[in-house]
Amino acid sequence: MITDIFPDVIWQPADIERTSLSIVEEFLRPLQLPPGEKAVVGRLIHTSGDPALAGQVCFHPRAVAAGVAALQRGCHIYTDVSMLVAGINSKQLSRRGGMVHCAVHDPAVAAEAKARGITRAAVAMERFGEKLNNQIVAIGNAPTALFALLGMIRRGLRPALIIGMPVGFVGAAEAKELLMQGEVPYITVRGTRGGSPLAAAAVNALLYLDR
Amino acid sequence: MITDIFPDVIWQPADIERTSLSIVEEFLRPLQLPPGEKAVVGRLIHTSGDPALAGQVCFHPRAVAAGVAALQRGCHIYTDVSMLVAGINSKQLSRRGGMVHCAVHDPAVAAEAKARGITRAAVAMERFGEKLNNQIVAIGNAPTALFALLGMIRRGLRPALIIGMPVGFVGAAEAKELLMQGEVPYITVRGTRGGSPLAAAAVNALLYLDR
């Protein structure tokens, strides 16, 4: 057995999870977060291996409650990147009637993006349109997807929750500051950091809160 | 047009990429890396939005050359997590004859993992077996996948390159230290951080070096 070569390694999934969550718990204790937010921040630290992230995670006061309620009624999740589709626990989601949707690989999206000279992620978000009302939008890559969504919100769109975690040096920090000025519930990571594992972890944390 | 609502946003993919890479270039300059390693570290910073990562990226001296050579001859990429499959530029890879493989969702892997009480990621890695010789193995999630791979290497396996970027507080740092003591070319991120976007970015950086 290969596992015998390293007998000190923790090979069991449940042991790994338990050990990791107890380490994460130590990082969380001094933060004194409400239980729901604590569960989300814990998942983000567990997923990223980076306790320093905790200081950058920001919640709209109704974010966790809005997210859990939306998931309970079987809401869908709309994303900007296929890595997020792969990262969300679709088994837990589909049990409630929800699905994850991502349109960046749709040829019509690619054609429109090329014609307009904008990102596919922004076009994909625009094309979801009114479908996004009362659903969860999870953005783990493209700042332009979040800007497009914020534009749609100015015109009256009302998602149930925005998990706004685009990444990078071009627009991500700015889009997230704008997100935090709005009234739609959000969970975000301030600044240039973000990414699909974080966005997926936030969705999964909400799913597990409702277990 | 939604894009008109935020006229100052950079919406064009090529402009975003150019702007980001020129910001990343500023972070890279003081590091004085060889060109290939610089390209990889640059992609990791671009992807993570986190310049602080640069100090933790470690290369075997032959890593970049080995990776580019393997990709040029159409090598396959074996991964531990489906988010990595989604993140690797499969178009660029398949143009050379390669494919990305991930077996964690194989029911036979799940059954064996359950029976043995170990992670699916470790079983999936073991089952790839000799197929991994002379190929690239990219690990973006499970420390146990990297430990399994290191065990197989002790028994004679020789991948062309290991992109070893598992994440978390249980075994990730230890597995990566062990990886760096070996002779198989590697690219890694020291410590608890890692993740599938980083592992995918490293693969993509090697693909783009060969463009």
Question: pLDDT digit string (tens) for B84-95?
Answer: 998 999 999 999
Cβ contact, residue pair B191, A11, below 8 Å: no
Handedness of CA B66, B156, B75, B44 (dihedral sign): negative
Q: Please give the domain boundaries of chain A with CATH numbers for all domains.
A: 50-102+130-209 (3.40.50.10230)
What's the mean pLDDT in A31-54? 95
Helix pair angle (B143-154, B120-128), 10° resolution: 30
CB contact under 8 A, A20 and B151: no
Asked if A144's CB is within 8 angstroms of B169's CB, the reply is no
Chain A nearest-CA residue for B153: A2
Active site residues of A: 46
Q: Is B180 exposed, middle or buried (0-12, 13-18, 19+ CB in 10 A)?
A: middle
Q: Which among B23, B152, B168 has the least Cβ separation from residue A49?
A: B168
List all residues 6 or more positions away from B23 whose beta carbon is below 8 Å from its beta carbon. Answer: A169, A170
pLDDT at position A211 over 90: no
ipTM above 0.85, yes or no: yes
- A1 has pLDDT over 90: no
Convert the pLDDT of each residue in B133-182 to its tens digit.
999 999 999 999 999 999 999 999 999 999 999 999 999 999 999 999 99
Please state, in angstroms and rounded to a whole number, the distance separating the CA atoms of residues A122 and A105. Answer: 12
Residues 143-172 of B with CB under 8 A from A: 143-144, 147-148, 150-152, 154-155, 167-172
Q: How confident is the model at residue B210 (pLDDT cuts 50, 70, 90)?
A: confident
Based on its alpha-carbon atoms, the radius of gyration of chain B, rounded to whole angstroms, reads 18
- State whether residue A47 sits within 8 Å of chain B by CB: yes
The alpha carbon of residue B112 is apart from the nearest alpha carbon of chain A, in Å, by: 13
Query: Does residue A107 surpass a pLDDT of 80?
Result: yes
> pTM, whole model, 2 decimals?
0.92
- Chain segment A158-200, per-residue pLDDT in tens: 999 999 999 999 999 999 999 999 999 999 999 999 999 999 9
